[in-house]
């Protein structure tokens, strides 16, 4: 099966790393950030100063203690940062050594319950996100389908085909394991080309091509297996699937990922092998100081959906670098810049335009959805299909709208409210 999408837009941010060799960077600190996991409250299992090994439990979800958050490196707990109401916002670990835990994987090869327990204890469960709501799935849930995203249309993202070339056996092993977590299909969504796995009754290969966001899981799910209040699916990235395959064969948690480091502020884009939650400044290479951050702006993820942050977010596979002295041209549309040059002009709301339709490859109405989000009309957002979406799916609408409204952030508020109402 193949989908060729016409709607969308790929923004040019300069050269990508392409098929360059992967470089290993020395990372000094990693962080586990609560903001990466909506709805989760960290319940600590370590204290500042404790020595930890790679794969060791750092904390659990207070409401679902089966879900474990593990250290991606061996080292010492440097900082436990608290926020409002003394909630844990971040756990920072200094990298020291390379000792790792080994998990017992014997039972997981045959028993589905043991497989789930292994994924939960090793931290691999954190690679899953649900649709709707974009949260870590409950340990006992069985999704109606699982989507493996083995393509990426984000500008400057690493090429999944290149990254997976040495990991194909692990990727296929991981994909086979995921078929045991659901009674329905596991979709492997990839770019046109040879199949990454051998298709079967439970594993289906679907090819997507076209402009961004043709490579995002939200686009794939909408066209293949739309979700609703009554039907949920899980999504997971290709590197997380390969990590599950390696875990099942070796018993060791794979806590490193191949990251793209590129953007207008980088002379030579690179593919970097680094641990989950790595400090972004270390991914640039060469000795760096705080002065670097005054010159360069580091964004974890694609610039339209990412966050200017200190540490790499859990699901991000790229770091976009900008020169602080230069305004990125893609952040505002030509119409917005033209309005801004008018005397005493104040950027505000925009009139509906067919331009939004050309950017939105969903069978949903973008302008009414944007209006409902802007005024906080939760019922209308749900009625218009908002449960199918996550923040990244609205990035191009945010980019195109002259009002400067962040529709992804508004959507997150709506999704959190709806989830709380259903959990009450």
pLDDT digit string, tens, across residues 317-364: 999 999 877 655 454 555 545 555 555 444 455 555 788 999 999 999
CA torsion sign for 386, 387, 391, 392 is negative
d(CA 225, CA 231): 9
**Per-domain boundaries in the chain:** 2-250, 332-423
Task: Provide the whole-model pTM.
Answer: 0.92
Q: Contact at 8 Å (CB) between 127 and 242?
A: no
The confidence score (pLDDT) of residue 295 equals 72
Query: How much helix, strand and coil, in percent to the nearest 5, is found in the chain?
Result: 35, 25, 45
User: What digits encode the pLDDT tens for the residues 32-66?
Assistant: 999 999 999 999 999 999 999 999 999 999 999 99
d(CA 69, CA 161): 29
Residues 6+ apart with CB under 8 A from 225: 144, 145, 147, 185, 187, 231, 233
Q: Look over the chain and give the mean of its residue pLDDT values, rounded to a whole number.
A: 91
């Amino acid at each position: 099966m193949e989908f060729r999408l016409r709607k969308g837009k790929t923004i040019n941010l300069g050269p990508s790393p392409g098929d360059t060799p992967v470089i290993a960077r020395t990372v000094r600190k990693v962080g586990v950030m609560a903001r990466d996991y909506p709805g989760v409250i960290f319940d600590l299992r370590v204290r500042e100063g404790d020595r930890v090994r790679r794969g060791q439990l750092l904390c659990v979800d207070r409401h679902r203690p089966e879900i474990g958050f593990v250290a991606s490196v061996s080292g010492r707990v440097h900082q436990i940062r608290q926020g409002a109401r003394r909630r844990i916002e971040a756990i920072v670990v200094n990298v020291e050594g390379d000792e790792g835990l080994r998990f017992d994987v014997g039972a997981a090869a045959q028993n589905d319950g043991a497989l789930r327990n292994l994924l939960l204890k090793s931290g691999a469960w954190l690679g899953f996100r649900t649709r709707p709501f974009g949260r870590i799935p409950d340990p006992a849930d069985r999704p109606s389908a699982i989507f493996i995203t083995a393509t990426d249309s984000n500008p400057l993202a690493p090429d999944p085909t290149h990254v997976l070339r040495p990991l194909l056996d692990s990727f296929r092993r991981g994909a086979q394991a995921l078929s045991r977590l659901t009674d329905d299909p596991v979709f492997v969504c990839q770019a046109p080309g040879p199949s990454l796995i051998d298709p079967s009754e439970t594993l289906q290969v679907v090819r997507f091509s076209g402009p961004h966001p043709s490579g995002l899981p939200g686009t794939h799910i909408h066209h293949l297996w739309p979700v609703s209040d009554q039907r949920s699916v899980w999504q997971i990235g290709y590197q997380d699937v390969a990590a599950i395959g390696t875990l099942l064969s070796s018993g060791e948690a794979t806590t490193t990922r191949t990251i793209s480091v590129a953007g207008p502020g980088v002379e030579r884009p690179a593919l970097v092998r680094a641990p989950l939650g790595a400090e972004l400044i270390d991914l640039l290479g060469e000795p760096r100081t705080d002065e670097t951050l005054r010159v360069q702006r580091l964004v974890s993820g694609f610039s339209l959906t990412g966050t200017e942050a200190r540490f790499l977010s859990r699901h991000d596979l790229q770091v976009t670098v900008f020169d602080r002295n230069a305004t990125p041209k893609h952040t505002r549309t030509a119409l917005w810049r033209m309005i801004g040059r008018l005397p005493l002009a104040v950027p505000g709301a925009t009139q509906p335009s067919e331009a939004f339709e050309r950017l939105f490859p969903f069978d949903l109405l973008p302008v009414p959805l944007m209006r409902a989000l802007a005024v906080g009309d939760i019922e209308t957002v749900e009625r218009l299909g908002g449960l199918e979406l996550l923040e990244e799916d609205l990035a191009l609408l945010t980019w195109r709208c002259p009002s400067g409204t962040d529709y992804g952030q508004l959507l997150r508020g709506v999704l959190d409210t709806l989830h709380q109402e259903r959990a009450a």
